[in-house]
Amino acid sequence: MQLPRERIVAILGESGSGKTTLLNCIGRFLHPQKGRILADGADIATVNEVAFRHLVGVVFQRLHLFPHLSVLENLMLAPIQVLNQREADTQAEALAMLERLSIAELSEAYPANISGGQAQRVAIARSLMLKPEYLLLDEPTAALDVQTTGDFVQWLLELMSDTTFVVVTHDLPFARAVASHGVLLEAGRIVRNGTVDELTVQQEPHQKRPS
């Protein structure tokens, strides 16, 4: 499979097909037993950790926001601790990121006091603070209602110029709405790739295509 830049790519398949495992391999949390994952011709296993986190960010399904830190502190933590950025500069950058994503009013809130949709935005904003070239999202709509999912679609489309999104999802309407390309997994293998419309129509032979 290939992940073209400035796109939203969907990884599709039934539960147990290997979607999250593939995501974890791309994110370097698991090491493939066979094959290689290349970025600009280099095997990602050879890239040093700091450089790799600039290359690939991950937002897990459970989000993993730090509950004892405010939203602003969640965004500031990695740039200060990992990249050794100055606190004042990082705070200004984090506030600008929250403002851009229309959640500036949440800066002093704690994760337990915000909604699921807001927490999703905060988690992605936190990942974008490291300016990754690719951002991996694991089932990002799993905890969102229909209205919030619709808002999330528009938000992702607006962020395409910032990074390439690789989205693991079983939500076919969501995949159709955001992704131009995708791959279909079955039993741990990529069985097809192409446009999301091609993949989803083949997955749903008995359903009428949306107009």
* The pLDDT value given to residue 41: 85
What CATH number should be reported for the domain holding residue 76? 3.40.50.300
Say whether pLDDT at 110 is over 90: yes
Give the pLDDT confidence of 38-80 residue by residue, as tens digits.
988 889 999 988 888 888 988 887 888 999 999 999 999 988 9
Residues paired with residue 169 on neighbouring β-strands, in sequence order: none
Direct distance between the N- and C-terminal alpha carbons of the chain, in angstroms, rounded to an integer: 29
Give the pLDDT score at 147: 79
Looking at every residue in the chain, the average pLDDT score rounds to 86
Judge whether 188 lies within some domain: yes
Q: How many domains does the chain divide into?
A: 1
Residue among 21, 2, 37 nearest 168 (CA): 21
- 21 within domain boundaries: yes
Report the pLDDT value the prediction gives residue 107, as an integer from 0 to 100. Answer: 93
- Quickly count: other Cβ atoms within 10 Å of residue 11's Cβ: 29
Is residue 107 assigned to a domain? yes
C-alpha to C-alpha distances, 24 to 32, 64, 65, nearest whole angstrom: 10, 15, 18
pLDDT of 199 = 82
Does the global pTM surpass 0.85?
A: no
Tell whether the model's pLDDT for residue 209 goes beyond 60: no
